[in-house]
Structure 1
């Protein structure tokens, strides 16, 4: 157990670059060097994590910990990989850039430009990998339109459901051709899998009724719903949380986007961005809200991946299931693109210089293969230099 904890703690402190990079780090560490799992098992688990909602890299680490040390090993792996970035983000939210000083507001503006660049990279990457056919591209565009048309999280849900239905009808052959690998060793019994899936479903459907009777549970319900409906990786949690906490006034839009920019500069999973939002949520501010939000946003993905594990090899042979998820994933590209347009670009751009810096940073990420932390540093330093020189004043004198 100590070995599992220390290995994942080192990865949590050093794994920069987002979910795709994390998967590469995991393969090097656990397949090539430590040989905890073989290639076939690793690829099967990866396919399962990409198939389900939730943070794919964290789910994969959870399964590796489960395989190595049972459920306690899985919890040790998750905690060690997640806590470093979560602690940094919460500390910054509470003690860092929350002041109203000119330099802090300038840093926030630079981080908002980082968010524009990083989400542009995410949309481009997901479009390239998930929207390779005419059908999936049309689904993505339709998802964008539905999300813009229906304000709030309801538009996102309708877009994903519509994408799943279209995929169910039109994408069976394409989805079947794209899967490789098997699960390998299964550490969850079918009865336990059924219980975990029932718990996940009961929480998703039952929490809204609990909130009506006990408003104190609203934060947990909000973050749980976001984690349960995030297809496509950590970046997609942005529109879900934005609808839940920014549109309702629980967290300011500037603080929300600043935290998203900071999340790119720290190692570990992007879902730890939820800890930043939870710390700023006025219904339970500070460390308690951060920890509650963190557990809630990760919980559904972990319940689902363990619940489905006993039947994955059989389920992955059902073309209807794969096609539905392929359509949902294509719709998610449109949902994320809608969030990129509003609120990210609409909030971040005040002058033409903002647009130039953000799009140059996005190009550096996409085609120059820059590190996310380097883009964070560049945008923040440019904003500070522009403000202090007067060439690019991002904070007005009366602010």
Structure 2
């Protein structure tokens, strides 16, 4: 089933060029601040209202698909819009354009962060760590209100958080998400069903099968290759790929996955990890470009620019493969009540996973006194109550981190 009969919902499908798509997404990659929800708003304004590449129904259905799947939602939406406009070349151009500005900014920060020394540099890095507390707290708060609206899903979230908090196993996060799916199948079947609007089919079933085979083959095959060969590049690729493959519920969920993959084996310390995550909040574009920072500073090989490229390719690849694999089958699958119930449980579990990360490592390694708590609290209120732009909160927290030693002395 190739894309053939969707002209009623897609305007001028396939008539654009990859260069056109690249230029549009480069502009969005420079200007899209605020996380995936904000990105989806920017995309709607650009492609539905202004350029009319899609209509409202097709766009809403596309967003619903990408929110259901693991991976970076806004990047998956952009990838699919590029695919619609200019084929696979357009899809690649959309990903490159949206990702490149943020990735370059974080690589530059990675090189500059090593040069920061003295009280001012230490205060700046500490302020970036504190903004991570506010950002993750905002994400937990918002996701809990949306994804855990009843006692069943709230309980699933709490159990998932307890599994992470009291387990020393590296597989605890995967186990928590898997148990969330089983609990959702049992406890969340009575929740209202999602609307079953028709989804735009973009690829053939053959391509879908190939993509799904590649997704699961890499997910289970990379750890085997890593253990057999002991290759550091394979180990790094596996760490990034596994983290990107298990992200449900928003880009912030990648934080505990990446920490487990990079801090636990000693490839990067907690302070440098959280400083980079705080800097990622100030950059436009997808949060997954945090991988460019990690690939640059990681102690394993390759590192530097080669590590940044490897990290970006590996962390985004699973989300794009699962998207291509789901497109031909999504319209049938999403109508099954059991599938919807499982995903409600998964979404609730990831709230618990992120909530546990808010405590450890974000809170335990960053908030050391009343001054730290005050900066984090101000940032949280600005984000949640005042709807302040994340870039403003990052700058304010960084300034607070610099000024705090003088205020508390």
Aligned to 1:206: 221
Q: Deviations over 1:157-210 (max 9, x none)?
A: 111011000111121232x523453312x2200011001000000000100011
Q: Are 1:43 and 1:181, in contact at CA under 8 Å, matched by a contact in 2?
A: no
Q: Deviations over 1:78-109 (max 9, x none)?
A: 00000100111011102345543322211110
Q: Are 1:53 and 1:228, in contact at CA under 8 Å, matched by a contact in 2?
A: yes
Q: Are 2:375 and 2:397, in contact at CA under 8 Å, matched by a contact in 1?
A: yes
CA displacement at 1:343 relative to structure 2? 0.6
Q: Are 2:196 and 2:334, in contact at CA under 8 Å, matched by a contact in 1?
A: no
Q: Are 1:15 and 1:268, in contact at CA under 8 Å, matched by a contact in 2?
A: yes
Q: Deviations over 1:140-160 (max 9, x none)?
A: 111110110113541111110
Q: Are 2:119 and 2:402, in contact at CA under 8 Å, matched by a contact in 1?
A: no
Aligned to 2:180: 163
CA displacement at 1:137 relative to structure 2? 0.4
User: Of the candidates 87, 105, 113, which is equivalent to residue 70 of structure 1?
Assistant: 87
Cα RMSD (Å) of the superposition? 1.2
d(CA) in 2 for partners of 1:100 and 1:218? 31
User: Of the candidates 117, 135, 142, which is equivalent to residue 118 of structure 1?
Assistant: 135
Aligned to 2:331: 313
Aligned to 1:190: 205
Q: Are 1:195 and 1:307, in contact at CA under 8 Å, matched by a contact in 2?
A: yes
CA displacement at 1:377 relative to structure 2? 0.8
Instruction: Classify the secondary structure of the residue corresponding to 2:249.
Output: coil
Instruction: Classify the secondary structure of the residue corresponding to 1:182.
Output: coil
Aligned to 2:35: 18
Aligned to 2:146: 129
TM-score relative to the length of structure 1: 0.95
Instruction: Classify the secondary structure of the residue corresponding to 2:138.
Output: helix
Aligned pairs for 1:1-399 (under 5 A) are 1-174=18-191, 177-179=193-195, 181-184=197-200, 186-214=201-229, 215-216=231-232, 217-283=234-300, 284-387=302-405, 390-392=406-408
Give the unaligned 5+ runs of structure 2.
1-17
TM-score relative to the length of structure 2: 0.93
In structure 2, relative to structure 1, the CA distance for the partners of 1:95 and 1:383 (3 Å cut) is closer
CA displacement at 1:212 relative to structure 2? 1.5
CA displacement at 1:339 relative to structure 2? 0.4
In structure 2, relative to structure 1, the CA distance for the partners of 1:153 and 1:179 (3 Å cut) is farther
d(CA) in 1 for partners of 2:204 and 2:164? 39
d(CA) in 2 for partners of 1:303 and 1:81? 18
d(CA) in 1 for partners of 2:393 and 2:408? 18
d(CA) in 1 for partners of 2:114 and 2:136? 22
d(CA) in 1 for partners of 2:337 and 2:284? 36
CA displacement at 1:386 relative to structure 2? 2.8
Q: Deviations over 1:257-310 (max 9, x none)?
A: 001101111100001011111111111221111110111010000000111101
Q: Are 1:200 and 1:303, in contact at CA under 8 Å, matched by a contact in 2?
A: yes
Pick which of 54-63 and 147-156 moved more: 147-156
Q: Are 1:190 and 1:310, in contact at CA under 8 Å, matched by a contact in 2?
A: yes
CA displacement at 1:72 relative to structure 2? 0.8
